[in-house]
Structures are given as C-alpha cells and as structure tokens.
Structure 1
C-alpha cells in the first residue's frame, strides 16, 4: 500500500527544545537526528506521513545537505523512516526494542527510550504449578504458585501479554502493589528487598491464538515473539514468565563480541 503523502510541516527553528547548539560536543547531524527521533516517537510525525524535504530541513536547521542526509541515514538504519524513490522520506511505524545485554523490566527499558508504558492487570490468583513451572521454580509438581497476568501497553497500544509465576508469598505481595505503573522487578528489589542477579531467556516465534489476538488487537495466527524468562534472586529462582510480544511492533537486540 502506498504511503500516506500528507506533508508534515517543516521543523520549527523557533522551538527552544529543538535549537541546535554550536558549542555542544555532539555533532550537528546527531542533534538533528535526536530532534527528528523525538518527533517520531512522540507522534508529532505520525507513521506513514511524509517527512519534511531535505531542502526544508536545510533551511530550518541552517545546515548543509550532507548533515541532513547523515541524520536521515541514521534514522533509516534504525528503522524509524523509509525512503521512496523520487518521493522522499516517510515515517515508519517504529518497532520498540529492548536490549538483552541488561536485565530490565519492560517499563524500565522503554522509559529510557522515551516511550509511555502502562499495564492492565488481567488476573492475579493462586494456581497449581504445571510441570514446567514447577521445574523452573524448583518446586514439586502441582505445588502452589501465584500467577499474575498483565496486558502491557506501549504508547497506548497493546504490545504484550505477560504471564508470570512466583512463590505464593511473593506473588500475593506483588498483587497488592501498583502493577499498572510499576515494574515487578522494581518492586521486587525496592519493596521486597530481593537481589535480582540474572535471568535465563529463551525466544521463539509462534502464532497468536484467539485469546492473545483479542488482547493484542491483532488477527488470529499473527506472528508473536514468545519469551520464556526465569529470573533469579541470588541463587534462587524467583520469577518465571511467558512474555508474548507482537511481532510487528517489538524486537529484542543483543550485542555479541568476538573475543
């Protein structure tokens, strides 16, 4: 489908927050890239709308064409914009991403990138551990555990369904907290005094069933990322969860060094 061609107004040089600094150690193209990225992420430049032309940005920012192209090139590499030959640059629907190099909760990771997050509590209840849950949490089969299901929102759109399992005493305490706006990792560390050390993670691609599709507002059988994560506090497993992320809106990234 052809991109929507509505032209966005050129960057306003009068905006204080968008003023370029000539004395900053940050190169001009980097400053422009960050201004444009901010406008994309906050919705000022909506998905599939046309970006200002290079000439408009040259005039607004008072920089060279090379500088503008460097900024646009970086945004294209990040997947925030795409180019159509002979027509210009358009805003892509940005895919949020989380790095696997650090153990972070969803809200923690997204807030540092400027995203708005929120969680809807779907259920919080004691259940009997399945064989897999019991194995991961080092419990006996059908031992009591506490299950918490949440629908996570990113910039007011549903992004994932999280199904988490905890030892009963921890889960019951978590259920009393503000799970709409606070990350479970933050609560575990700051309120319950647990020392989270590491997590074991497995990722696979699956198709959404009817229930997941309904919660995530997608078609049934749409692609999902299914993350199985076991989080440890010191030398004991404390949180085992299944995270179901929309494949069209989220990705994990990992840097691998060659020694």
Structure 2
C-alpha cells in the first residue's frame, strides 16, 4: 500500500498551499513554532523540519529569534529537494514497498566508517533492500548506519516503512541534508539478481550520505537503479536579470528529480 505523507510533509504542504494561494503575502510573518505545534498537534522537531523544507524551497526565510517570513519571491526556488524513495514513488504515481533481504551487524568497513565519521573499529548496521514501484524492482539499496542509529531499525517493518520515516517520524531525528554522488557501474551477480538483470549489465549508482543536526551522519547508502526504469531530469533557472549571472556563476539548479517508467 502506498505510504501516506509524513507529519512534517503534511505541515509543509498545508503552509505551502496557504502561501501559494495568497493567504500570506511576501513579507508576512508565519505563526510561531509553538502555535504551529498546537494547531497541527505535532512536536517542535516536526514543525522545524517543515519550516526548513519551506526555506529550502525558497518559500520562506527565517530570522534568528524573530520567526519565519514569507519570501517576496516565493515561486522561485534554486534548490534541489531532498526526498526519499517513497516520496519519489508517490510523485510518480506508483505504490512504494520494499523487500528486505537482510538487516544485520557487520564488521567495520574503512571507507564507510570514514564517510560516517565514526571510529575505524566500530561495527556497522547494514540493511539490504529491493525497492519496489507498484511491485516492480526499481532499485536495490545497501545502507550502512552507525550502531546508535541502526539499532533503532531492528523492531521495524522495513517492507512498508522507509529508514527515512522511521528515523524522522518515530524517533524525531530530522534528516536535514544529504550529499549525493552519481555514477554508472556494472552490476555484480548479487546486485543483478535483486534487479532481475544479468551480471555485467549497467546500473545507475547513487551514493548518498544523509545528515541530521550538528552535521551528524545518520546513514550512508548505495542505491542501484535499473536504468531502463529511471532517468534523472535537470531543470535550470535563469535569472530574469541575466546581467547578474556571470559565466563563472552559471545557471542555478532549480530541480534535479528522477523520472520513472510505469
């Protein structure tokens, strides 16, 4: 069954709708965090995450100790959204689910421990999952977490829940940023078997490291997409005052999103 929008997404969507429909105008102050908590019956962490996403989209800006205000250019965004698989599937009109292959504690991996900024001798929690779009294998994920975060997953149903939602919604640890690396690789037998491909077939690999507050690394993930089922589309925005854009600055990236074959 398709997952419902998370709490912070519902708050964000409500405020976004009010902004875009003109309930608030540029420069208007949004209700305080406490008032939003009371209205939506959610925690302050959830409200702050929703506001952070609105700010990332360019719809609002925040002043320390004062509050959040509607941007005068609320319909222009030069930032890329950080989404998880279920959000991507929902936007594509597909039902998201997962097939859990394994969830276990593993020995340290030098490269992964360095990426996660943890001790080189610290063990890791590894999660292997096939990600399904309306029952079809779209991607295969290998995810590593520090034990402090990884142990939170052992009692969860990772066939219907995403790591992103468990960490954020149940434990209120906001995922506020992530770094991505895109490349093409040949699938080994293990990866090929999960995606119904042949060993040696090309797959689209995305390495992602997600972070919470204080720049703490929550997980490092390698996702392998079947390139026959997904491609990425890049949207660039050009400032109307083109003289303000130098050749050095280039064009700001407005959107970079996956498109899926149904």
Q: TM-score range by the shorter chain?
A: 0.5 to 0.7
Within 2, Cα distance between the matches of 1:210 and 1:238? 28
What does 1:1-259 align with in structure 2 at a 5 Å threshold? 101-234=80-213, 235-257=215-237, 258=251
Give the Å deviation of 1:128: 1.9
When the two structures are superposed, what TM-score results if normalisation uses the length of structure 1? 0.59
Within 2, Cα distance between the matches of 1:255 and 1:192? 34
Within 1, Cα distance between the matches of 2:231 and 2:155? 31
The alignment partner of 2:137 has SS state of: strand
Aligned length: 160
Give the Å deviation of 1:254: 3.1
Within 1, Cα distance between the matches of 2:81 and 2:173? 17
The alignment partner of 1:133 has SS state of: helix
Contact 1:108 1:183 in 2 (8 A): no
| CA-atom RMSD in angstroms | 1.5
Give the Å deviation of 1:207: 1.0
Within 1, Cα distance between the matches of 2:100 and 2:138? 14
Contact 1:144 1:168 in 2 (8 A): yes
Give the Å deviation of 1:109: 1.6
Contact 1:101 1:255 in 2 (8 A): no
**Which one has the largest radius of gyration?**
1
When the two structures are superposed, what TM-score results if normalisation uses the length of structure 2? 0.58
Contact 1:104 1:185 in 2 (8 A): no
